[in-house]
């Protein structure tokens, strides 16, 4: 089902970008990571002077059956309430997207509540009303997981048709740090306690209970760590599946993906597990407060661009990282070379 062609990075474009960086009016490598980002962009976009003006964040919203086990400090109703907040433009991600000049696309891929079909601004792609309780059995069927991935791919295609240079991933789903912790524990083989955090603010007893539930779910469902789709079905989430689809479809179109925090990086682990070359098109936006995020980034070999103690989700960290990535692009494209500026490079 999932077999897109991911183009290789364009080595020639990257080499041209690197050569231009060496000739810009500055000491070599004096702009650090900004230089490296611009070279990566050139290879991703097959353009020695890459432009990333057209930006968007895609937010997948879904509920989780495992939330019934009390693994979150917030009730499940908050998922649908926050979707409405996104649509009104009142959430943190909306504010940051406006600042970055980025579009916001909100997708109901699995919220328990039903929304008015005529509600403007919401894409209705509900695969099911949340996942099943993974502490009692598999979170979803293989068909549901594949459908959710396909939704993400389709949404990315729709957004890309309007023009897209850079996409960020965002999530909304009460309880979704639980499946994300399960995913990283299964795929890396690390103990659940080492990759499970407090999510929305659990106390010590709540955290211990959350760890127990994840261990129970893994022991019961026995997901295969070598089979990303099996992991997704057994202990994943619909928004995680949808975001994996977004990443796969973006990579197939040479559109760089700015991966947000813990939930989005769980989706990246699934996407790379399904289609390994997707990794070449990923930027990690930030280092989340969630302890499992470090293990995810190490596994994927990604270096986060920011470290601001963020743990909100929604795509907030990824949208903040837009500014750095666009700065890197502009430096490469707009800064004068020594020859253009009449400045001696000796």
Nearest-5° Cα angle at 77, 74 to 83: 105
CATH of region 11-50+331-341: 1.10.1610.10
Q: Report yes or no: 179 and 64 within 8 Å, Cβ to Cβ.
A: yes
Catalytic residue among 35, 144, 239, 314: 314
Interatomic CA distance for residues 208 and 201, integer angstroms: 13
Virtual torsion, Cα 286, 148, 235, 190, nearest 10 deg: -30
The pLDDT score that the predictor gives to residue 345 is 73
The pLDDT score that the predictor gives to residue 3 is 66
77 catalytic per annotation:
no
Counting runs of H as helices and runs of E as strands, what totals does the chain give? Answer: 13, 6
The pLDDT score that the predictor gives to residue 4 is 80
The pLDDT score that the predictor gives to residue 202 is 85
Interatomic CA distance for residues 18 and 291, integer angstroms: 35
Nearest-5° Cα angle at 170, 138 to 4: 70
Closest-CA residue to 64 (of 115, 113, 110, 122): 110
Closest-CA residue to 105 (of 164, 159, 147, 153): 159
The secondary element (H helix, E strand) that includes residue 103 is strand 102-110
Helix axes 228-235, 177-188, angle to 10 degrees: 140
Contacts of 211 (CB under 8 A, 6+ apart): 192, 193, 196
Domain ranges of the chain: 11-50+331-341, 55-324
The pLDDT score that the predictor gives to residue 227 is 98
Q: Report yes or no: 227 and 130 within 8 Å, Cβ to Cβ.
A: no
Per-residue pLDDT of the chain (346 residues; tens, 9 = 90+): 566 889 999 999 999 999 999 999 999 999 999 999 999 999 999 999 999 999 999 999 999 999 999 898 889 999 999 999 999 999 999 999 999 999 999 999 999 999 999 899 999 999 999 999 999 999 999 999 999 999 999 999 999 999 999 999 999 999 999 999 999 999 999 999 999 988 777 898 889 999 999 999 999 999 999 999 999 999 999 999 999 999 999 999 999 999 999 999 999 999 999 999 999 999 999 999 999 999 999 999 999 999 999 999 999 999 999 999 999 999 999 999 998 888 887 6
Q: Does domain 55-324 have CATH number 1.20.272.10?
A: no
């Amino acid at each position: 089902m999932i077999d897109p062609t991911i183009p290789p990075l364009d080595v020639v474009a990257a080499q041209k970008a690197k050569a231009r960086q060496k000739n810009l009016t500055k000491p070599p490598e004096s702009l650090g990571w900004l230089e490296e980002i611009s070279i990566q962009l050139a290879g991703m976009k097959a353009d020695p002077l890459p432009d990333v003006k057209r930006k968007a964040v895609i937010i997948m919203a879904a509920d989780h059956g495992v939330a019934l086990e009390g693994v979150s400090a917030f009730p499940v109703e908050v998922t649908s309430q926050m979707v409405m907040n996104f649509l009104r433009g009142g959430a943190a991600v909306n504010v940051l997207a406006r600042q970055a000049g980025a579009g916001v696309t909100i997708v109901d891929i699995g919220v328990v509540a039903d929304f008015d079909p005529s509600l403007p601004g919401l894409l209705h792609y509900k695969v099911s009303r949340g996942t099943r309780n993974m502490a009692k059995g598999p979170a979803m069927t293989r068909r549901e997981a594949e459908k959710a991935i396909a939704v993400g791919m389709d949404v990315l295609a729709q957004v890309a048709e309007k023009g897209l240079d850079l996409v960020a991933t965002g999530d909304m789903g009460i309880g979704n740090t639980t499946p994300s912790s399960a995913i990283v524990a299964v795929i890396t083989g690390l103990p659940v306690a080492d990759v499970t955090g407090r999510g929305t603010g659990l106390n010590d007893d709540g955290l211990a209970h959350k760890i127990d539930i994840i261990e129970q779910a893994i022991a019961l469902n026995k997901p295969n760590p070598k089979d990303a789709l099996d992991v997704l079905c057994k202990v994943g989430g619909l928004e995680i599946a949808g975001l994996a689809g977004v990443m796969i479809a973006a990579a197939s179109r040479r559109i760089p993906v700015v991966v947000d925090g813990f939930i989005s990086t769980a989706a990246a682990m699934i996407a790379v597990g399904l289609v390994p070359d997707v990794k070449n098109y990923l930027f990690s936006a930030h280092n989340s407060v969630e302890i499992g995020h470090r293990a995810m980034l190490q596994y994927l070999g990604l270096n986060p661009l920011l470290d601001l103690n963020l743990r909100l989700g929604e795509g907030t960290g990824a949208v903040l990282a837009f500014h750095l990535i666009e700065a890197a692009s502009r430096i490469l494209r707009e800064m004068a070379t020594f020859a253009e500026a009449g400045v001696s490079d000796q």
